Structure 1
Amino acid sequence: MARPKKIETANAVSRRETLITASAKLFNRLGFQRTTVRDIADEIGITSGSIFYHFDSKEQLLEAVIEHGMTSGLSIVEDHLSNLIGPLSRFHGLVLSHLIALTGPPGDAHEVSFREWASLPKEARKRLRALNEQYRIIWVRELTSLKKHRLLKSDPEYCRRGMIAALNWTPAWHKQFSKQQLMKVSDQFCAFALNMSATDFIEQRKNE
């Protein structure tokens, strides 16, 4: 008896996601060039040839890994911002969600994107820049709101660049953060960007 198409599709999606997760882990640990298709197959217990049912090449798999990190990060950010109103609360939510994405399950994919961007084919980089632009727009929007409320003194775009560069180094401090630690780190980053003390930032955020 033929298997129902819905089950086959679900299994294919699950296998593809497993491949992306395993590849992100190996690309992060070994590097893209040193990781072989066999390494990835062995990691999840399948044959090397099975990978090419889902991806045409290792480069296409790298693109899928980086895309996963970007889409996961966007989803986390949008979820955190959905219930926040005040400009300080939204700024804190933006920073916190960025840190959650970096230190959570999508973290390997983000690390890979930092290190292996140049390994992507030109067309893949072009496609992924569209996703990156969505994230840039979110940051500039929130920082511009802070500027309008006279809470940010610097240029929103330059602030964004500096903030993201600094935030992306956070996993180098610790491999794991508790929720409480992430909240504290987020407060410190926000206070620094706005030239406030962390105590003043927290008080103003809570009183919005």
Structure 2
Amino acid sequence: MARPKNTENAVARRDELINASAKLFNKLGFQRTTVRNIAEEIGITSGSIFYHFDNKEQLLEAVIEHGMTSGLSIVETQLSELTGPLSRFHGLVLSHLLALNGPPGNAHNVSFREWGSLSQKARNRLRAVNEQYRNVWIGELTNLKKHQRLKSDPEFCRRALIAALNWSPVWHKQTSKQHLEKASDQFCAVALNMNVADFVDQRMKE
């Protein structure tokens, strides 16, 4: 079916569909969510969805891509004015927590749970975006290693830390930026085998 022209209204409707789908996929699961559920969520007919997406699977791919690109955008913003290795590490961890607990949070949760529901072609397309995020992490962790702040392997540290961060919304219920900044200090201190107060002190002195 032909796609609508790339007008502001079409883009806004597409974004609305992605956000509604992210919410429902997160709440009900991909398999249990129907196209009718998504249409009812934003008050349109089911058929209208197919002017923007061929099927529900394509919507899932769009949701996960949205989570990835939003995360990258948050990282770029947080790191743009930071220079010291500890400050940038803190900014990187904070970015991940902000993404999980902010507007892209539903999409991130969907990506964790529903990656296996994507086709192999969709996974291959999204891996290119995911690789960009991985490279940011490896770059910052390698810089910490260079400055003798990180003693473990950067790749293993990345995997372990991201896994821990991804589960944090289950037990860390405070979502204000102030609380997330403090949580970031704690995560960073654990990763670098430091006392939290020492980490904060040294980060502030960079």
Question: Which residues of 2 match residues 1-208 of structure 1 at below 5 A?
Answer: 9-208=7-206
1:175 CA drift (Å): 4.7
Gaps of 5+ in 1: none
1:175–1:54 CA distance, 2 compared to 1 (3 A) = farther
Distance 2:126 2:204 in 1: 36
CA RMSD of aligned residues (A): 1.2
Aligned counterparts of 2:71 and 2:114: Cα–Cα separation in 1 = 18
Q: Which amino acid aligns with 2:35?
A: V
d(CA) in 2 for partners of 1:40, 1:68: 17
Offset of residue 97 of structure 1: 0.5
Runs of 4+ off more than 6 Å: none
Q: Distance in 1 between matches of 2:48 and 2:172?
A: 36
Q: Deviations over 1:9-61 (max 9, x none)?
A: 00000000000000000000000000000000000000000000000010000
- The one-letter amino acid of 1:168's match is N
SS of the equivalent of 1:34 reads: coil
Pairwise CA distance, 1:179: 1.4
TM-score, structure 1 length as denominator? 0.95
Aligned length: 203
Q: 1:103·1:176 contact (CA, 8 Å) conserved in 2?
A: no
The CA distance in 2 between the partners of 1:39 and 1:191, in whole Å, is 44
CA contact (8 A) 1:140 1:156 kept: yes
1:174, CA displacement in angstroms? 3.9
Distance 1:193 1:199, change over 3 A: same
Letter in 2 for 1:79: T
Q: Is the 8 A contact 1:59 1:120 kept in 2?
A: yes
Aligned-partner SS, 1:147: helix
Report the Cα distance in structure 1 between the residues aligned to 2:169 and 2:158, rounded to whole angstroms. Answer: 19
Instruction: Tell me, in whole angstroms, the C-alpha distance in 2 between the residues paired with 1:125 and 1:193.
Output: 30
Aligned identity (percent) is: 76
Q: Equivalents in 1 of 2:83, 2:105: separation in Å? A: 27
TM-score of the aligned structures, taking structure 2 as reference length: 0.96
